[in-house]
Chain A
Amino acid sequence: MERLKFATVWLGGCSGCHMSFLDLDEWLFDLASLVDIVYTPIADVKEYPPQVDIALIEGAVANEDHLRMIKLVRQNTRLLVSFGDCAITGNVTALRNPLGNPTTILQQIYLQGITHTNGIPSEPGIVPALLERVVPLHAVVPIDVYLPGCPPSAARIKAALLQLLEGESNKPAGSEALRFG
């Protein structure tokens, strides 16, 4: 049997979900024996490959890079897992939404009420522009599985991955595995 191609992606989040993923400790060896890890911020891979089977996506969609990336990931992946609260709800990354549009927020941060300023940072092509609103993944692309938690515990990640590797993607309603926060 051909081994499944597995990826993890880091968008607008704090990387806490990936830290929790690393908390799988020795089970990572078991996972590595079951799947080929073809893309992850933990390894040095530049391009997201085609025909990925399962991808865990951490973080919300907050800037233009995230938007491009999530569309590419969706195109190249069979099962997309919204990984952690930022990916599912926007969470901390989306705390800026009630405060106004990016211009207003950047002006507040870099210009207003400070004595020394180099202006609002602008490096076209290097620093991606912020989107009007931070949105969860499912607002942009269809999502197959939701794995909440801030971060989801290693045990919860393991349970979800085992389910997916066995070809199941449905969690029962009322399951504690669905708890946010």
Chain B
Amino acid sequence: MMLRIRSAINEGEHMTVRTLMIDGQQISAQEGQSILDTAREAGIPIPTLCHLEGIGDVGACRLCLVEVGGGDPTRTRPLRPACMLMVAEGQEIYTNTPRLREYRRMIVEMLFAERNHVCAVCVANGHCELQDLAVAVGMDHVRYPYLALQCSVDITHDRFMIDHNRCVMCTRCVRVCDEIEGAHTWDVAGRGVDSRVIIDLNQSWGTSPTCTSCGKCMLACPTGAIVRQGATVAEMERDRSRLGWLVNAREKKQWNA
């Protein structure tokens, strides 16, 4: 089924509606919409970590993987990140199979095993998306050996700091700095377990000539990695929706939304 509707927001532009199945439920969505947004609008929860309202998606964390059906029924259904997969007519999407639940738990366990996440003594305890994810995927212990990587802490900025022990490489800081602030102070260096988010040319934060000290990276960070200086255990609360609000205000001129 295809029909043309007129969008209230973009006057004069034609939007195409696509109809697809998510978990056996028939759902209509606008062309160009991601499976993640479509599912969430329909009240179907899909866990995410690197996704943040207001900035572009990169499919880094793999938590939003879904199974795409409709192909050869004798073969295993392919996996796609829901944030990067756009809706298409007649699509069959599965968001909550035993296989996906197992993979999601594995991903969260590997995140905990890779660096040094110690909830009990973390500034973000109680306000952490990684901690919440562990609950959501039912992680009661980590089945993999902890790597106990040596990671540095940078406290050279006047107001903020980064503890790489708690970084999950979601790259929200990189994207928010580039896309919203326009500074592109943050970037990524290294590969595998050696990869790190870096400041400018891999220098200490306090020496950055590009950082505007706006704090958007601190707002965007899902864990206790980028935080306000002086915050102690469990004190690091932040309102991540302010970033989405800012983008909405800029693009749609809705300042009171």
Query: What residues of chain A have their CB less than 8 Å away from a CB belonging to chain B?
Result: 82, 85, 88-92, 94-95, 97-99, 133, 136, 138-139, 143, 146, 148, 150, 171-176, 178-181
Q: Within the complex, which residue of B126, B138, B141 is in contact with A181, where a contact is CB–CB below 8 Å?
A: B126
Q: Given contacts A89-B112, A94-B148, A172-B138, could you give 16 more A-B pairs where the C-beta distance is less than 8 Å?
A: A82-B141, A85-B120, A88-B140, A89-B118, A89-B141, A90-B146, A92-B121, A95-B116, A98-B148, A173-B138, A174-B138, A175-B135, A178-B138, A180-B119, A181-B119, A181-B125
Contact yes or no, A89 B142, CB < 8 A: yes
B139 contacts chain A at the CB level, 8 A cutoff? yes
Contact yes or no, A136 B141, CB < 8 A: yes
Contact yes or no, B118 A95, CB < 8 A: yes
By beta carbon, the residue of chain A nearest B120 is A150
B218 contacts chain A at the CB level, 8 A cutoff? no
Contact yes or no, A148 B131, CB < 8 A: no
The count of A-to-B residue pairs whose CB atoms sit within 8 angstroms is: 74
Question: How far, in angstroms, from A94 to B149 measured CA to CA in the complex?
Answer: 12
Question: How far, in angstroms, from A139 to B134 measured CA to CA in the complex?
Answer: 19
Q: How many whole Å from B211's CB to the nearest CB in chain A? A: 27
21 contacts between A and B (CB under 8 A): A88-B141, A89-B112, A89-B142, A90-B146, A91-B118, A91-B120, A92-B121, A95-B118, A98-B116, A98-B165, A133-B148, A138-B141, A150-B119, A172-B138, A174-B135, A174-B136, A178-B134, A178-B135, A179-B131, A180-B131, A180-B134
B10 contacts chain A at the CB level, 8 A cutoff? no
B82 contacts chain A at the CB level, 8 A cutoff? no
Q: Which secondary structure characterizes the binding site on chain B?
A: loop
Given the complex, which residues of B lie within 8 Å of A95, measured CB to CB? 116, 118, 121
- Report the count of interface residues on B (CB-CB < 8 A): 27
Q: How many whole Å from B38's CB to the nearest CB in chain A? A: 23
Contact yes or no, B151 A98, CB < 8 A: yes
Given the complex, which residues of A lie within 8 Å of B138, measured CB to CB? 171-175, 178
Given the complex, which residues of B lie within 8 Å of A97, measured CB to CB? 116, 146, 148
Given contacts A98-B148, A136-B141, contact A92 B120 (CB under 8 A): yes
Identify the 9 closest CB pairs spanning chains A and B, nearest first: A173-B138, A181-B119, A150-B120, A97-B148, A146-B140, A180-B119, A181-B125, A98-B148, A146-B141
- Using an 8 Å CB-CB cutoff, how does the interface string of B129-160 with A read, 1 for contact, 0 for none? 00100111111111001101111000000000
Query: Which one of A90, A99, A171 has the greatest number of beta carbons of chain B within 10 Å?
Result: A90
Given the complex, which residues of B lie within 8 Å of A139, measured CB to CB? 145
Q: How many whole Å from B50's CB to the nearest CB in chain A? A: 21
Contact yes or no, B142 A148, CB < 8 A: no
B197 contacts chain A at the CB level, 8 A cutoff? no
Q: How many whole Å from A143's CB to the nearest CB in chain B? A: 7
Contact yes or no, B140 A178, CB < 8 A: yes
Given contacts A174-B135, A180-B119, A181-B120, contact A98 B149 (CB under 8 A): yes
Question: How far, in angstroms, from A88 to B112 measured CA to CA in the complex?
Answer: 12
By beta carbon, the residue of chain A nearest B121 is A92
Q: Within the complex, which residue of B119, B149, B151, B165 is in contact with A85, where a contact is CB–CB below 8 Å?
A: B119
Contact yes or no, A179 B135, CB < 8 A: yes
Given contacts A89-B142, A90-B146, contact A173 B137 (CB under 8 A): yes
Question: How far, in angstroms, from A92 to B145 measured CA to CA in the complex?
Answer: 16
Given the complex, which residues of A lie within 8 Å of B137, measured CB to CB? 173-174
Q: How many whole Å from B154's CB to the nearest CB in chain A? A: 16
Question: How far, in angstroms, from A172 to B165 measured CA to CA in the complex?
Answer: 30
B122 contacts chain A at the CB level, 8 A cutoff? yes
By beta carbon, the residue of chain A nearest B145 is A139
By beta carbon, the residue of chain B nearest A97 is B148
By beta carbon, the residue of chain A nearest B105 is A173
Given the complex, which residues of A lie within 8 Å of B141, measured CB to CB? 82, 88-89, 136, 138, 143, 146
Question: How far, in angstroms, from A105 to B148 measured CA to CA in the complex?
Answer: 15
By beta carbon, the residue of chain A nearest B149 is A98
Interface residues of B in 79-133 (CB under 8 A from A): 101, 112, 116, 118-122, 125-126, 131
Q: How many whole Å from A123's CB to the nearest CB in chain B? A: 27
By beta carbon, the residue of chain A nearest B148 is A97
